[in-house]
Amino acid sequence: MDYTEQVQRNLEQVKARIGEAAIRAGRKADDVKLVAVSKTFPTEAILAAWEAGQRDFGENRPEEGERKIPIVQEATGPGKMVWHMIGHIQSRKAKLVVEYFNFVHSVDRLSIARKLNQLAIEARCKIPVLLECNVSGEASKYGYDLSKWQHEAAIRQTFFTEIETLMGLPGLEPRGLMTMAPIVADPEETRPVFASLRSLGTELQARYPQVSWDQLSMGMTDDFEVAVEEGATLVRIGRAIFGSR
C-alpha cells in the first residue's frame, strides 16, 4: 500500500471511530468535525488527505503554514480548504495567521486577541476564534489558567472580564473553547479535563447568550474518543491519520 492509500485508509478508520464515539454518547457523527493536523508532514500528505475528501487542516506554526498552504492551494485551487491555527501565536507571527488561516483555536491571552483583531479589521475580515483553556493545570501548557475555575470565583471572574473585552473586538468572532489534555497512559484519565471544558462552555452559553459558544475543540490521536463522548465538536488529529512524527 502506498502512502496515499495509507492516509486514506487511516482517515476512514478515524472517522468511523469518531462516529462510534459520538453514537455512544447519543450524539450524531456529523456533529464532530475532524481537523487533520498536518504539522511536520509534507504537502504530499495534505494532498493525499484532500483527495480522500478531507477539507479541514490544522497547523501549529504560522511560518509552516506560510510555507505549505500556498503549495497546497496551487494544487487544489484557492479557498477549498479550511486552515485551523492550533498552536501558540507569537505577536510578530499574527500577520501570517490572518493571511493564511481561517479559524484560530489558540487565543490564549488578550494581547494576541487584540493583535489579531487589529489585523482582521485591516484585512476587512472577521476571524472565528476559540479561547485556549488550561483546565488540567499541567504546567507546560499554554492557555488561560482555569484548572480551579469551578472552585474559585476570582478565577472565573478574571476570565469573564477577559471574555467581555474579547467580545467587544469587532474583528473577532468568539465561537468556543479549546483545550489539550495531559499525556497519560490511559485515555480514560483525560475525561475529567474534557468534562470540565464542556461545563465551562455551558457556563459561557448561559452568561453570554449573544455569542454562540457552540464549539469545543478537544481530543487528539490518543484521546479523541473520550473527547467526543464528552462533547467535542472539533477534534485535532495528526498521527492517527499521517503516521508517527
Ligand X SMILES: *Cc1c(COP(=O)(O)O)cnc(C)c1O
Q: Is 17 in the site for ligand X (CB under 6 A)?
A: no
Least distance CB 171 / ligand X (angstroms): 23
93 interacts with ligand X by CB under 6 A = no
| Contact with ligand X (CB under 6 A) among 8, 10, 38, 60 | 60
Binding residues among 173-212 for ligand X as defined by CB under 6 A: 180
Nearer to ligand X, 39 or 115 (CB): 39
> Does 221 participate in binding ligand X (rule CB under 6 A)?
yes
The residue written with cell numbers 485515555 in the block is: 187
- The CA–CA distances, whole Å, from 208 to 147, 201, 233 equal 21, 10, 19
Of 217, 226, 164, which Cα lies nearest the Cα of 191?
226
Quickly count: other Cβ atoms within 10 Å of residue 82's Cβ: 15
Segment interacting with ligand X (CB under 6 A) among 93-101, 187-195, 205-213, 232-240: 232-240
Residue 90 touches ligand X, criterion: CB under 6 A: no
**Which residue of 65, 174, 201, 238 would you call a contact of ligand X, by CB under 6 A?**
238
Q: What is the DSSP letter of 182?
A: P
Residue of the chain from 220, 226, 227, 234 that contacts ligand X (CB under 6 A)? 220
Q: Rounded CA gap, 116 and 141, in Å?
A: 21
Cβ neighbours around 161 below 10 Å, total:
11
Kindly state the cell numbers that stand for 1: 500500500
Q: Which of 79, 100, 83, 19 is nearest to 46 (CA)?
A: 83
Residue placing its CB nearer to ligand X in the complex, 205 or 221: 221
In the complex, which residues of this chain contact ligand X (CB under 6 A)? 37, 39, 60, 86-87, 180, 220-221, 236-239
